[in-house]
Amino acid sequence: MKNGSKGNEVIELQKLLNASGYNCGEADGFFGPKTKGAVIKFQLANSLKGDGLVGPATRATLNK
């Protein structure tokens, strides 16, 4: 997932980020600037590349 993505998968991502303390606002299913910012903060806090893209490594870490 990346900036501009939409759908249920984004809603689940947003719920996980919010539950983990990375506020991305309302889980509305749109991967916009707030979601990207929260993803980058999450990635950097977990020693991942802070690129704002949700790939396999970011997904695996979020799902722990």
Write out pLDDT tens, residues 9-38.
Answer: 999 999 999 999 999 999 999 999 999 999
d(CA 7, CA 21): 22
- CATH architecture of the region 5-63: Orthogonal Bundle (1.10)
Whole-structure pTM value? 0.95
In degrees, rounded to 5, the angle at the alpha carbon of residue 57 between the alpha carbons of residues 51 and 8 is 80
Domain ranges, ordered by start, for the chain: 5-63
> Residue for token digits 């991502």?
13
Sequence-distant (≥ 6) Cβ neighbours of residue 2 within 8 angstroms: 31, 36, 52, 53, 54
